[in-house]
Every structure is written in C-alpha cells, then in structure tokens.
Amino acid sequence: MSLRPMIHLQEITNPAADFAGFPFSVPALANLRSLRFDAPVTFFMGGNGSGKSTLLESLAIASKRVVVGGSDLQRDASLDAIRPLAKALKLSWTKRTAKGFFLRAEDFFNFARRNRELGSELDGYADKYADDPRVRGYMLAQKVQLQNRYGDLNAASHGEGFLRVFQSRIVPGGLYLLDEPEAALSPHSQLALLYQMHAAVADGAQFIIATHSPIIASFPAAVIYNFAAAGIARTAYDELDSVALYRSFLRDPKNYLSRLLAD
C-alpha cells in the first residue's frame, strides 16, 4: 500500500557551532546553526573536503542508522574524529523512525566481498558434511536464501549489485542516508537508482544523499544544499557549479579540451 511522501527528519541544529577543532573548523560547518529538510529527498553537494560527507556521517551516527556492509557506526574507529559533531547535533523529528540505513559506496564493496566469502563458506560446509543430508541441506538452503535476497553478486556488475542490495533493503517509512553512491554506479545505473528512489518516496521513505553527480541530484523537487567555504546554502539545481561544468563540457567536448590543454 502506497503512503503519502513523508519527511521524518525535519531539522538538525548545532548548538556547538562555535566549538574549535575538527570537524567544527571545516569552513562549511563552522557557522552551521541549523538545517531544515523540507522535502523527502535532500542532497548535499560540494567539492572534496567541503564537509558534506562529514555532516552526513555525523547525522548517521546521531540518528542511529544501521550500516549496510560496514562496521557498526557506534564502534567504527574511523569515525572517532567526527563524534563530537554527531554528539552535538540535535535532531527534530515529525515521527522518529528506526527504519532505514546508512550506505557508503565502500561499504557496498565490503558487503559484496563478504557476501561472496559467505557463499564460499556455505559451499565448503555443504561439501564437508556431504554425508549428513540434514546439515548439507541446511547449508545449501542458507545459500539459496542469500541469493534469493541479493541475487548472484558474483555475476553482477558493481552497479547491478549495488541496486540489488539497495532495493532489497528498502522498506516503507525509512530514513536513508547515502554517501556518494555514484562511485558504484554507471550513468545508466544512476538513473535506475532514481527510479527506485521515486518508488520508495511514494512509500514514505526519506533520503539524504551526499553526491557529486548531477544525474542523481536531478531528482524532481529535491532540496539541494551546496557546501562551500562561505557556508551551506540552499541552491537551485541549475545554479550548481558541477551542472554548469558538465553542460559546458558536453556542449562541445573537443573545443572544451582544446582550450583546457592549450599551451
């Protein structure tokens, strides 16, 4: 049954905006007081090191998202530096939801690798207990269940595998945080992701996504926040630097490169 589009997380506020040191010293985050989420889909855009992933990871910790294929966020040592920001953030909900997940492209690659390893382990146990029909049958049934949920990730491209895992984990009414999903997706697969997101939004899902991709950021009626040295600003799609760059290049690639590479 389709639900109406929902905005579960309405706003984040940062009472510790004046704190010194990383991550509060990141220019885009230095003056962050609050950020509202007025649409079911919100994008964080900006260059490398602009703070968009730092804020998204802090939000994932603060909202207690489950990680797909990665370490538990509360115990992930690689995130220790941003925990002060995660702890400082205050989250305002329409209705708090525990549904949803946090997914980084590198976590998907880890998930796919572990999925392959688990399939091999189940095959190994099935061979080891070939003389015990009960145990062998159980191991093979577990592998079939794994493949029924995610498909054969060994036979899939990274993009196909990412989309299978994404779709298999989506449930109605969840909050989903994605960090640079385009790293695992071709342009065609990015369009397929938008299709899946559209269906999920109709079932009450909310997305907050950090991305460099003009394709992904084109989702209809999405809110875009651009992260820059001057701060975080709500920005129209057509005003994004990355959109202007892609359009300029694709309008005449040969001429663009000729000017770029001229001595």
pLDDT-derived band at 184 (thresholds 50, 70, 90) equals confident
List Cα–Cα distances, 195 to 36, 64, 255, in angstroms.
25, 26, 34
Question: SS3 of 131, please?
Answer: coil
Query: Any idea what DSSP says for residue 46?
Result: E
pLDDT at position 72: 75
pLDDT-derived band at 198 (thresholds 50, 70, 90) equals very high
Consecutive H or E run containing 87:
helix 83-88
The mean per-residue pLDDT over the stretch 239-261 comes to 95
Query: Any idea what DSSP says for residue 246?
Result: H
pLDDT at position 77: 83
pLDDT at position 21: 87
Q: Is residue 51 assigned to a domain?
A: yes
Q: What angle do CA 34, 15, 101 make, to 5 degrees?
A: 60
Give 72-83 pLDDT, tens digit per residue: 788 788 889 999
Q: Is residue 197 assigned to a domain?
A: yes
Query: Any idea what DSSP says for residue 48?
Result: T
Q: Provide the CB-side half-sphere exposure for 83 (13 A, CA).
A: 9
pLDDT at position 107: 73
Give 22-43 pLDDT, tens digit per residue: 999 999 998 899 999 999 999 9
Longest Cα pair distance anywhere in the chain, in angstroms?
73
Q: How far is 59 from 217, CA to CA, in rounded Å? A: 19
Q: Is residue 149 assigned to a domain?
A: yes
Q: How many domains does the chain have?
A: 1
Q: How far is 99 from 92, CA to CA, in rounded Å? A: 16
pLDDT at position 155: 47
Domain span holding position 84: 9-260
Q: Is residue 196 assigned to a domain?
A: yes
Give 121-169 pLDDT, tens digit per residue: 656 666 766 777 776 766 666 666 656 555 554 544 556 778 888 888 8
Q: Is residue 78 assigned to a domain?
A: yes
- Pick the residue with more confidence: 229 or 131? 229
Is the pLDDT score of 52 beyond 80?
yes
| Predicted structure pTM score | 0.82
pLDDT at position 213: 97
Q: Is residue 247 assigned to a domain?
A: yes
Residues in a beta bridge with 206: 175
Q: How far is 261 from 254, CA to CA, in rounded Å? A: 11
pLDDT at position 104: 84
Owner of token pair 């997914």: 103
Give 65-74 pLDDT, tens digit per residue: 988 865 678 8
pLDDT-derived band at 203 (thresholds 50, 70, 90) equals very high
- Pick the residue with more confidence: 114 or 95? 95
In percent, how much of the chain has pLDDT > 70? 79
Computed over every residue of the chain, the mean pLDDT equals: 85
Q: Is residue 1 assigned to a domain?
A: no
Is the pLDDT score of 8 beyond 90?
yes
CA dihedral sign, ordered 153, 156, 162, 164? negative
Q: Is residue 3 assigned to a domain?
A: no
Identify the CATH number of the domain in which residue 159 sits.
3.40.50
Q: What angle do CA 163, 189, 162 make, to 5 degrees?
A: 25
- Pick the residue with more confidence: 162 or 96? 96
